[in-house]
Chain A
Amino acid sequence: MQKKINLPLRDEDIESLKAGDRVLLSGIVYTARDAAHKRMVEQEKDGTPLPVELDGQVLYYTGPTPAKPGEVIGSAGPTTSGRMDLYTPALLEKGLKGMIGKGYRSEEVITSMLQHKAVYFGAVGGAAALIARSIKKAEVVAYEDLGTEAIRKLTIEDFPVFVINDIHGGDIYKDGVAKYKQ
């Protein structure tokens, strides 16, 4: 079954999502990967305000290729989320409600997501040209010096994801594999 959800995520949307659901997301997401996470969490420790308000927002772990002339963005698929795990609980504390990436999350992150009622979505790793078609606008909003790792505000339309971890304890990486293991 495929659901359509508009961002920002409402509590009832979060409640309704189950691990394994196919979802098309529309609205605003912010990109951030390794270097941006490191900098945000350092700023947070220093007491400097974050460059974007994360409360209620969704982060997309990606470092796009350069846009060709006339294009909104280059190819922009998900990167491996686990590298952000060290920084994620601090951002969930700030009200982050969703993340899009690929791959396992740590126990600490999963526990923190359950506590703060946040959802982890997986996009298809390597489907970056296809995914780019659902990105309608892109603008660098912070850390421009980080190049591909800068924070970008993306306007997305029908961006295809799967729910990996829901707020009810479901985990498609565990449940799906258990179903097909021989």
Chain B
Amino acid sequence: MNEITYETIVEEVKAMCMESNYNLGEDVYSAFKQALQTERSETGKEVLTQLIDNADIAKAERVPMCQDTGTAVFMVEVGQDCHIVGGRLVDAINEGVEKGYGEGYLRNSMVYNPMNRKNTGNNTPAIVHIDLLEGEELTLHMTAKGGGAENMSALKMLKPSDGMEGVKDYILSIVKEAGPNACPPLVVGIGIGGNFERCAFLAKKSLFRPLGVRHEDPAVAELELELMEQINRLGIGPQGMGGSTTALDVKVELESCHIAALPVAVNLNCHASRHQTIKLK
């Protein structure tokens, strides 16, 4: 049986928090470069140029690319034959977050509760979703999710009679409403199906798939491309000041749902789309 120590998880999580904030993903960096070639607005090009320069500075100086260093969100896949020793998995993740945000000069953005709004001072608690799989690996997916884009995300329980047209209209309406607030060009994460909470989870999960990688089901992949085209016709553009690059990518995840239901969730991600994955064996 594979044994993974509490300390190993703490150290790996600490590194993920820093790297996700200092190093823009290569998938995102190339999406910026490509958008710079195709963007029609001069203002939009200037925004994209600033974002590329910003990513270069953050990487070279090891400073956060954005002052909103986010809520640390983890999707963890635990192999059934993996044994975590020395403490609780969630405690190890939180300790890693505390160290990563503290030692990495990242901003603490979490409050104890929405009523007192007092800062916890170490960016914990992390939000942790755990899934049990076959095998003996432990996989940690992490995103540092900023508040601006998360605030413009939404979920709606549509009626089955609304159909896919209703789903698409709803998604477009959310992107339009978000406009400049969610820091476009966006990565749009969409969950369709499941139930109320599962749908929101699917939307979040979709954001962990690297840019440019399509859903394995060709029908879903086609829906992603169609939505991307429609979103880019909205004219919102980089930072909402007009342009042809509103979304860098669109991700859809779907699951079975009740005969009475058609849940749709739209989880917007800002252009940085910070995500990291590590596998511990």
Contacts and interface: CB of A to CB of B under 8 A. Distances in A.
B63 interface: yes
A127 to B, nearest CB: 4
Contacts, number: 157
B73 to A, nearest CB: 18
B106 A65 contact: yes
Interface stretch (B2-10, B228-236, B248-256): B228-236
B34 to A, nearest CB: 18
Interface string B28-71: 00000000000011010011001101100110010111111100
18 contacts: A63-B67, A63-B109, A74-B64, A76-B67, A77-B66, A77-B68, A102-B148, A103-B181, A104-B181, A124-B50, A125-B180, A126-B183, A127-B51, A129-B63, A132-B63, A176-B41, A176-B43, A181-B234
Contact of A74 (B50, B57, B67, B109): B67
Contacts of A129: 54, 57-58, 61, 63-65
A176 B243 contact: yes
Nearest to A73: B67
Interface string A131-162: 11100000000000001100000000000101
B244 A125 contact: no
A95 interface: no
A45 interface: no
A79 B151 CA distance: 12
Contacts of A20: 43, 241
Given A103-B181, A126-B54, A127-B51, A178 B235 contact: yes
Interface of B is mostly: loop
Given A125-B239, A128-B66, A176-B41, 14 more contacts: A22-B43, A64-B67, A65-B105, A74-B63, A74-B105, A122-B241, A124-B51, A126-B51, A126-B66, A126-B272, A172-B241, A176-B43, A177-B236, A182-B235
- The 7 A-B residue pairs whose C-beta atoms are closest, nearest first, are A176-B242, A181-B235, A180-B235, A103-B181, A130-B54, A125-B183, A182-B233
A181 B179 contact: no
A62 B66 CA distance: 11
A9 B53 CA distance: 28
Contacts of A89: none
Contacts of A22: 43, 46
Contact of B242 (A35, A104, A125, A179): A179
Interface string A96-135: 0000001110000000000000000010111111111100
